[in-house]
């Protein structure tokens, strides 16, 4: 098993695999209300069966090179994650996303973890464009997109039906050449 250090604070990025379903469910239970403010993950993972199925679906995506999921651990506790919800290697596109439980907010974990997976996608998999779709009201996630040097491409008005309400979705992206210019210089 591998872990990638996310800095001097002991945070690590690790694959989030089906055998971690109980740990994933416990994490979701701790952060369900907070996570559920903006994304459907909190509604999709409600018991051990759904937690295992969710992680199994991402294991299958990894096996077919169409997505990936990673957990963020601090002091041995799963506190959040990052993922490629979609990956189309042939077309060179991927959609990244994230979530955190409340105790992990404000520490830069998502920015650091997302940087790792974008580096991998661009450098190892040849991804040309990484997208970040976010509810317009999700200001912390928009701040991550900005910190990562992404550009706001536009707004899909009322395109996201969530919990019976329509929400605007913003599309942010970074192209491989921009990513390399921004992050190789630092």
According to CATH, the topology of domain 4-184 is: Aminopeptidase (3.40.630)
pLDDT at 184: 63
pLDDT at 1: 57
Distance CA 38, CA 120 (A): 26
pLDDT per position as a tens digit, 55-65: 999 999 999 99
Q: Give the pairing of strands 165-175 and 129-135.
A: antiparallel
Mention every residue, 6+ apart, whose C-beta is less than 8 A from residue 104.
72, 74, 79, 80
pLDDT at 185: 54
Q: What are the residue ranges spanned by the domains of the chain?
A: 4-184
Q: Which residues of the chain have pLDDT under 70?
A: 1, 184-186
């Amino acid at each position: 098993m591998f872990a990638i250090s996310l800095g001097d604070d002991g945070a690590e990025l690790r694959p989030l695999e089906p055998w971690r379903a109980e740990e994933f469910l416990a994490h979701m239970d701790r952060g369900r209300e907070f996570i559920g403010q903006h994304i459907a993950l909190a509604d999709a993972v409600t018991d051990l069966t759904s937690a295992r199925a969710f992680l199994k679906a991402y294991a299958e995506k990894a096996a077919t090179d169409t997505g990936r999921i990673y957990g963020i651990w601090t002091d041995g506790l799963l506190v959040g994650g990052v993922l490629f919800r979609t990956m189309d290697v042939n077309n060179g596109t991927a959609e990244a996303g994230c979530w955190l439980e409340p105790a992990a907010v404000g520490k830069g974990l998502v920015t650091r973890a997302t940087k790792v997976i974008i580096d991998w996608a661009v450098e190892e998999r040849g991804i040309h464009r990484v997208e970040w779709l976010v509810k317009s009201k999700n200001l912390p996630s928009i701040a991550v997109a900005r910190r990562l040097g992404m550009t706001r491409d536009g707004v899909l008005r009322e395109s996201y039906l969530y919990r019976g309400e329509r929400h605007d979705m913003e599309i942010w992206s970074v192209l491989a050449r921009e990513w390399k210019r921004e992050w190789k210089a630092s």
